[in-house]
């Protein structure tokens, strides 16, 4: 039996995740037995899973990873793809924040409390946020404050406030700060007006940052020693909910957000392209797919609607935000929109570079879609076509690539302001580079354009 502890699962002594023969388990330690029993007997677990707020599990009748410490072994339902807060759109992070606060309120009503508030504990399944850490609950102790409050402000409130009030690109900042944005940094970056008024940011970010500095080396009085009533704590959570709800982001002047209305594609060609992509998908029958450069997910849905789990990634926050809002409002399944810059995808971060996986380490998948993408990689980013082919081949067995020739107006736009140094950027050069790694299974022109769709199979 090969056991492996999940590398990100080490902070909380209540238990940890491990895999055995490719099955994911969660060991609950004896030190957490009392809290775990209360979590179940109070009805909190049933209520949370009934509302779809917490990942469900079953008790597994298998040997524990570390029997000396173990109280129980659980087998949690699997999440199809682990994504990270720095890959989420604004509303994804906001929904995850609100879920965390609502879960905490529900826990308090059952005599328990969230003991942390890590954004990494939230994942998205079928367009909805879901808490995946079953061991995040402790017994509520009368008069105590919320131990996860600082983490909540760092993981959720600070990036949301910076994205909403300063620049959406601050969503990426948590890549640098694995335990959330330091509050003194957020405080110095936020506009001065947030120091005043009733937004809540004055207290939760600015005063909070000051207090942290002031009390940095002072011992806490045993979690406030009974000063905060439960009502006051719930008041504070309601205040945080209001603060988060007031933060909004409206994409404007976006690069690709309006892409489909700004292309040289007619509705008819878009429809034909969708049908072609759909026929390729049906031919290969993948069980998982990444749509790279997915924009608002128009073609990702060709896979998702066929029941195939699909990650729709794009560099553009506005496009991903729109995609997520559509998934959420339509209750669409199997589709996960993420903000990924393919020329600089998420790295592996954290301790020993193994806490949070890089984007490519979370593959490979069965199939890639790279539609209207190749010119951005090859021309805007000067990537040799062989490198693109090599990366695609490492990521999936099947790949659909749309080749966009130089004569296409979108490529002309990219070349308008620079010297054309791309002698090999043509159909011949494309096929030569890609056939090093792939066999061409199908090649179809996209009607009403000069573009070509290739269905490629890895050699």
Partner 1 sequence: MPNILFKLNYLDPGSGSLLVQLIAAGLVGGVGILFKVFWGRIVAFFKGEKYVPPAPESDEDDEEEA
Which residues of the shown chain bind partner 1 in the complex (CB under 8 A)?
11-14, 31-32, 34-35, 38, 42, 110-112, 115-116, 138-151, 153, 200, 203-204, 207-208, 210-216, 218-228, 230, 232-233, 235-236, 239-240
Structure tokens at 19: 């895999």
Residue given tokens 């699962």 in the structure block? 9
Minimum gap (Å) between residue 210 Cβ and partner 1: 8
Q: Which residues contact 172 (CB under 8 A, 6 or more apart)?
A: 86, 339
Tokens describing residue 312:
């729709």
Smallest separation, CB 205 to partner 1 (Å): 10
Taking the least distance from each CB to partner 1, the nearer of 230 and 444 is 230
Q: Which is nearer to partner 1, 102 or 184 (CB)?
A: 184
> Residue 347 and residue 356: Cα distance in Å, rounded?
8
Give the residue with the Cβ less far from partner 1, 159 or 200.
200
Q: How far is the CB of 404 from partner 1 (least distance, A)?
A: 50
DSSP result, 297-349: STTHHHHHTTT-EEEEEES-HHHHHHHHHHHHHHT--SEEEEE--TTSPPPPB
At its nearest, how many Å lie between partner 1 and the CB of residue 104?
12
CB of 217 to partner 1, least distance (A): 9
Collapsed DSSP state (helix, strand, coil) of residue 122: strand
Token readout for 175 is 């890549």
Residue whose tokens read 């971060």? 349
Considering the complex, state which of residue 78 and residue 227 has its C-beta at the smaller distance from partner 1: 227
- Identity of the residue, 102 or 147, whose beta carbon is nearer to partner 1 in the bound complex: 147
156 in Cβ contact with 240 (< 8 Å): no
- DSSP E strand boundaries for 60-111: 70-76
Q: Quick one: 92 or 144, whose CB is closer to partner 1?
A: 144
286 and 304 in contact (C-beta within 8 Å)?
A: no
Q: Which is nearer to partner 1, 61 or 217 (CB)?
A: 217
Look up residue 364 and give its two tokens. Answer: 């490979």
Instruction: Name the minimum Å distance from CB 195 to partner 1.
Output: 14
Q: Please choose, from the candidates 41, 179, 63, the residue with its C-alpha nearest in 3D space to the C-alpha of residue 112.
A: 41
Instruction: Output the smallest distance, CB 172 to partner 1, in A.
Output: 24
Shorter beta-carbon distance to partner 1: residue 34 or 418: 34
Cα–Cα distance measured from residue 274 to residue 281, given in angstroms and rounded to the nearest whole number: 11
Q: How far is the CB of 37 from partner 1 (least distance, A)?
A: 11
The least CB distance from residue 357 to partner 1, in Å, is 23
Whether the CB-CB separation of 338 and 313 falls below 8 Å is answered with yes
Residue with Cβ nearer partner 1 (65 or 116)? 116
The terminus-to-terminus CA distance of the chain in angstroms comes to: 33
CB of 328 to partner 1, least distance (A): 29
Q: Which helix (H) or strand (E) holds 184?
A: helix 183-189
Rounded Cα distance, 206 and 203, in Å:
6
For partner 1, which is the closer residue by CB, 125 or 153? 153
Least Å from the CB of residue 44 to partner 1: 10
Distance of CA 119 to the CA centre of its chain: 10
Distances 441 to 171, 205, 276, 335, 458 between C-alpha atoms, Å: 40, 56, 13, 26, 10
Q: Residue 148, CB half-sphere, CA atoms under 13 Å: how many?
A: 26
Q: Would you say 35 and 15 are in contact if contact means Cβ atoms under 8 Å apart?
A: no
Joined together, the tokens standing for residue 23 give 């099955």
Nearer to partner 1, 203 or 383 (CB): 203
């Amino acid at each position: 039996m090969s056991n492996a502890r999940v590398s990100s699962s080490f902070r909380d002594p209540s238990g940890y995740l491990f895999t055995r023969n490719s099955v994911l388990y969660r060991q609950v330690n004896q030190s957490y037995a009392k809290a775990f029993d209360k979590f179940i007997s109070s009805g909190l677990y049933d209520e949370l899973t009934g509302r779809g707020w917490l990942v469900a599990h079953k008790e597994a009748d298998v040997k524990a990873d570390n029997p000396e410490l173990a109280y129980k072994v659980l087998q949690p339902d699997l999440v199809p793809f682990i994504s990270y807060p720095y890959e989420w759109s604004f509303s994804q992070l906001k929904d995850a924040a609100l879920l965390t606060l609502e879960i905490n309120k529900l826990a308090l009503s059952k005599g328990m409390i969230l003991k942390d508030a890590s954004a990494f504990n939230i994942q998205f399944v079928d367009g909805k946020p879901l808490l995946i850490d079953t061991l995040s609950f402790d017994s509520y102790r009368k008069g105590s404050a919320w131990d996860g409050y600082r983490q909540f402000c760092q993981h959720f409130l600070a990036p949301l406030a910076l994205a909403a009030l300063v620049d959406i690109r601050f969503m990426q900042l948590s890549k640098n700060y694995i335990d959330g944005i330091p509050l003194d940094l957020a405080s110095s970056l936020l506009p001065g007006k947030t120091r005043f008024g009733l937004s809540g940011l004055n207290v939760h970010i600015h005063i909070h940052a000051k207090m942290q500095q002031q009390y940095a080396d002072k011992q806490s009085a045993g979690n406030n020693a009974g000063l905060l009533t439960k009502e006051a704590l719930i008041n504070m959570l309601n205040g945080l909910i209001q603060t988060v709800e007031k933060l909004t982001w409206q994409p404007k002047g976006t690069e690709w957000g309006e892409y489909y209305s700004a292309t040289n594609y007619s509705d008819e060609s878009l429809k034909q392209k969708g049908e072609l992509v759909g026929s390729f998908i049906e031919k290969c029958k993948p069980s998982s797919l990444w749509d790279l450069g997915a924009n608002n997910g128009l073609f990702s849905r060709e896979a998702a609607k066929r029941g195939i789990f699909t990650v729709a990634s794009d560099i553009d926050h506005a496009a991903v935000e729109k995609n997520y809002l559509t998934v959420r409002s339509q209750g669409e399944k199997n589709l996960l929109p993420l903000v990924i810059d393919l020329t600089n995808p998420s790295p592996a971060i954290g301790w020993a570079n193994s806490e949070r996986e890089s984007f490519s380490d979370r593959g490979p998948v069965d199939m890639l879609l790279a539609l209207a993408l190749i010119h951005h990689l090859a021309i805007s980013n000067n990537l040799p076509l062989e490198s693109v082919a090599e990366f695609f081949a490492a990521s999936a067995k099947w790949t659909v690539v749309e080749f966009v020739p130089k004569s296409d107006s979108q490529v002309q736009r990219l070349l308008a302001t620079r010297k054309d140094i791309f002698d090999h950027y043509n159909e011949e050069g494309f096929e030569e580079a890609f056939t090093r790694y792939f066999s061409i299974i199908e090649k179809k022109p996209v009607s009403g354009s000069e573009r070509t769709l290739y269905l490629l199979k890895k050699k």
